[in-house]
Amino acid sequence: MPKLTFRPIHFDDIAKYEAYFAEHAPKNRWYNLQHLYIMRHRHHTEIAFSEHAIYLKSKIEGKHYFHKPIYDDVNSESICQDELDRYAKKHHLESFHLAV
């Protein structure tokens, strides 16, 4: 079963993402930016996850929003493509694939 491996964001981008998440992310979630990874989708969608949670971030009609976590606890830097596909279908999203 194929796995997606996520690339870490560059250290210089941490402040930018920290400011973004402070403004847009759910207020009851704690983000450990040392473990934050971003995966870009071809339609302006990203997956953001720390070792604590995974969120799908979608840009629809110019607005960013976060879906509820796929997992409450994430202990790996990879996730099964089939699981992403099931989640995307359930929430009427396109499938997500690793950015190259």
pLDDT digits (tens, 9 = 90+) for 4-60: 444 444 445 555 655 665 665 554 444 443 334 444 333 334 444 443 344 444 444
CB-CB neighbours of 95 under 10 Å: 12
Whether residue 97 is contained in a domain is answered as: no
- The reported pTM is 0.29
User: Residue 66 pLDDT more than 60?
Assistant: no
Domain count for the chain: 1
Whether residue 98 is contained in a domain is answered as: no
Whether residue 68 is contained in a domain is answered as: yes
Domain that holds residue 26: 3-90
Whether residue 84 is contained in a domain is answered as: yes
In sequence order, which residues have a C-beta less than 8 Å from that of residue 34 and are 6 or more positions away?
none
Whether residue 31 is contained in a domain is answered as: yes
What are the beta bridge partners of residue 8? 37
Whether residue 100 is contained in a domain is answered as: no
Q: Which helix (H) or strand (E) holds 45?
A: strand 45-49
Whether residue 95 is contained in a domain is answered as: no
Q: What is the pLDDT of residue 98?
A: 34
Whether residue 64 is contained in a domain is answered as: yes
Tell the residue number behind the tokens 């279908």, with chain if given: 89
Q: What is the pLDDT of residue 91?
A: 59
**End-to-end C-alpha distance for the chain, whole angstroms:** 19
